């Protein structure tokens, strides 16, 4: 998983965009009337350009496959896959905690392990072969806030489960997903209780999504629209704008 500092930066950026709605000039796509609610029942997926634009320096994540080369030692070279905790095991080097490290940092760690007892000045390279490190970030009233890999079809309920569930007194009706679609920021308000009851579908989660659970400040921008159309049978989706 990515580091705590990066997680907080992601959440802070999304919240800053969202909380701008509390200023005198609402950052909505239109004049701020209820018609600013987009006419969608499903939060659309991000485009490929959205995913690329949000990319940051790569760090190793659970289930990533890595090509490791130890020069002059073919028996120690090959492809290894990190486990669910981001660890991998390598002959002579032992168990390595790879999650959150860059490939170069992992190569340095392996060289240090091998150089301590087995080799003189080992030269090690680590390259990404296959990754599942597209991650979403979840914060707020969940047991383990953090960033988690998007593996297969990840939904909001599964994202909450990855964070070990909601806190004891979490506000299930206040779950906001922030997403960029075609370069435009969107925010969608969901009710976990309604999803559990089958009132509407469990939305799919994509890489770079930021999920805030039970945070009243995130819900505040939806307040004027909830007075007109209470969140009963559909999520509420807003198009946001950055302030000039």
How would residue 181 be classed by pLDDT, with cut points 50, 70 and 90?
confident
DSSP 235: -
pLDDT of residue 207: 84
Residues 91-108 have pLDDT tens digits of 999 999 998 888 999 999
Beta bridge partners of 128: 66
Say which residue, 113 or 235, is predicted with more confidence. 113
Give which of 152, 155, 182 is closest to 46, Cα–Cα. Answer: 182
Say which residue, 74 or 238, is predicted with more confidence. 74
Give which of 82, 207, 81, 212 is closest to 148, Cα–Cα. Answer: 207
Say which residue, 31 or 14, is predicted with more confidence. 14
Beta bridge partners of 67: 79, 127
Kindly report whether the global pTM for this prediction surpasses the value 0.85: no
pLDDT of residue 9: 47
Q: What's the rounded Cα separation, in Å, for the pair 186 and 94?
A: 45
pLDDT of residue 205: 92
Q: What domains can you pick out in the chain, each with its CATH number?
A: 4-56+134-239 (3.10.560.10), 65-130 (3.30.1950.10)
How would residue 220 be classed by pLDDT, with cut points 50, 70 and 90?
confident
**Statement: residue 211 has pLDDT above 80:** yes
Please give the C-alpha separations between residue 187 and each of 78, 95, 118, 143, in angstroms, as whole numbers: 43, 41, 54, 23
Q: Rounded mean pLDDT of 80-86?
A: 87
Is 206:46 a contact under the CB 8 Å cutoff?
A: yes
Query: 85: which residues sit within 8 A by CB, 6+ positions away?
Result: 62, 99
Give which of 202, 99, 84 is closest to 154, Cα–Cα. Answer: 202
């Amino acid at each position: 998983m990515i580091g705590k500092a990066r997680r907080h930066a992601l959440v802070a950026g999304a919240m800053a965009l969202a909380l701008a709605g509390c200023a005198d000039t609402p950052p909505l796509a239109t004049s701020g009337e209820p018609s600013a609610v987009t006419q969608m029942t499903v939060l659309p997926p991000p485009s490929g350009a959205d995913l690329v634009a949000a990319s940051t320096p790569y760090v190793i994540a659970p289930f990533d496959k890595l090509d490791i080369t130890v020069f002059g030692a073919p028996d120690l070279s090959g492809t290894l896959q990190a486990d669910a905790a981001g660890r991998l095991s390598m002959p002579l080097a032992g168990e390595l905690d790879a999650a959150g490290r860059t490939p170069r940092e992992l190569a340095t760690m392996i060289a240090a392990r091998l150089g301590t007892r087995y080799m003189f000045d080992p030269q090690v390279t680590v390259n990404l072969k296959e990754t599942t490190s597209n991650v979403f970030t979840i914060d707020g009233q969940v047991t383990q806030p953090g960033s988690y890999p998007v593996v297969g079809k990840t939904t909001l309920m599964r994202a909450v489960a990855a964070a070990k569930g909601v806190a004891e007194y979490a506000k299930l009706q206040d779950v906001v997903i922030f997403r960029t679609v075609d370069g435009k920021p969107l925010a969608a308000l969901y009710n976990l209780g309604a999803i559990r009851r089958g009132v509407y579908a469990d939305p799919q989660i994509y890489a770079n999504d930021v999920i805030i659970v039970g945070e009243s400040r995130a819900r505040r921008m939806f307040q004027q629209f909830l007075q007109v159309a209470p969140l009963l049978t559909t999520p509420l989706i807003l198009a946001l704008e950055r302030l000039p």
